[in-house]
Structure 1
Amino acid sequence: MKGLSATSVIGLADALIHWQIFFVLCNAVGLDQAAGNFAAFCVAAAFSFYLNVLYLFERETSVFFYLMFIGLMGSVSFGVGAIADVWRLPGLVTVASFSLLNIGSGYCFFRFVLFRGRWT
């Protein structure tokens, strides 16, 4: 249960960082939702990865699998933003829908792929 609760807290912090960066990039800087969502994801994912390694997992991790995850979820973040741009959806819909996808798939990826057998 320790791993699930800690991962949940890190996931929520990741989502808050993502949302803040997304809204700054889209509203203040003027990026479209696809680029803003991708950039916000990259920053939040780096934060999340660092905290997971620092607090939850003891051994070294596979950079290859981490980069695969970043590539896959980065593509998903860009795709969700691109769909929102085409359909002219509000930014809140973009970040909320992507956050749900990211938290669920991120937990599964970190737990069962990247850090399998290393859960403390």
Structure 2
Amino acid sequence: MKALSKGFCSYAVIAVANALIHWQIFYVLIVAAELSQAISNLVAFCVAASFSFYVNALYTFESKAAAFGYLLFLGFMGGVSYCIGRIADLWQLHGLVTVTSFWLLNLIGEFFFSRFVVFRGCES
């Protein structure tokens, strides 16, 4: 349990950087490119997730990850990010609601997906 909580703390710090990247890209795509929240959230997620994946491989899990596991994660959480953005588009929610709700789901879901699927068997 101690290793799990230590890994989560490192993961949470990286998640804050992930959130800043995600939120900035999301708002640039919404405002400057005038894209939908669904597309903006998906693109922002993919960029931020790539950053997190690399940094978590180096610092949190200290291991190389399985490429298939990463692609599985990217597909699953990418789908979730698109769906949340689509719901926000349909309900005409503010972009802050979109990125905040996705970030909270992503923080928890990505940690467990990474720990038990992408980086399974790695000591953190």
- TM-score, length basis structure 1: 0.94
- Which amino acid letter does the alignment assign opposite residue 68 of structure 1? L
Cα displacement (A) at 1:110: 1.1
Q: How far off its partner does 1:15 sit?
A: 1.1
Counterpart of 2:67, as a letter, is V
1:29 aligned counterpart, secondary structure: coil
Deviation at 1:58, TM superposition (A): 3.1
Aligned to 2:53: 49
Distance 1:26 1:38 in 2: 12
- The one of 10, 18, 23 equivalent to 2:14 is 10
- Amino acid in the other structure paired with 1:25: L
| Aligned residue identity for 2:81 | S
Hey, what's the Cα distance between the residues in 1 that align with 2:38 and 2:73? 18
- Whether the 8 Å CA contact 1:56–1:119 is kept in 2: the answer is no
Note if contact 2:70-2:118 (Cα within 8 Å) is conserved in structure 1. yes
* Identity in percent: 56
What is the aligned partner in structure 1 of residue 107 from structure 2?
A: 103
**1:57 shift after superposition:** 2.6
Structure 1: 5+ residue runs without aligned partners?
none
Range 3-12 or range 34-43, more displaced: 3-12
Does residue 1:62 correspond to 2:75, yes or no? no
* Matched ranges for 1:5-44 at <5 A: 5-44=9-48
Contact 2:37 2:89 in 1 (8 A): yes
Cα distance in structure 1, aligned partners of 2:63 and 2:57: 8
Gaps of 5+ in 2: none
Aligned partner of 1:73 in structure 2 is 77
Deviation at 1:60, TM superposition (A): 2.4
The CA RMSD over aligned residues, in Å, is: 1.1
Alpha-carbon distance in structure 2 between the residues aligned to 1:103 and 1:19: 14
Shift of 1:3: 1.5
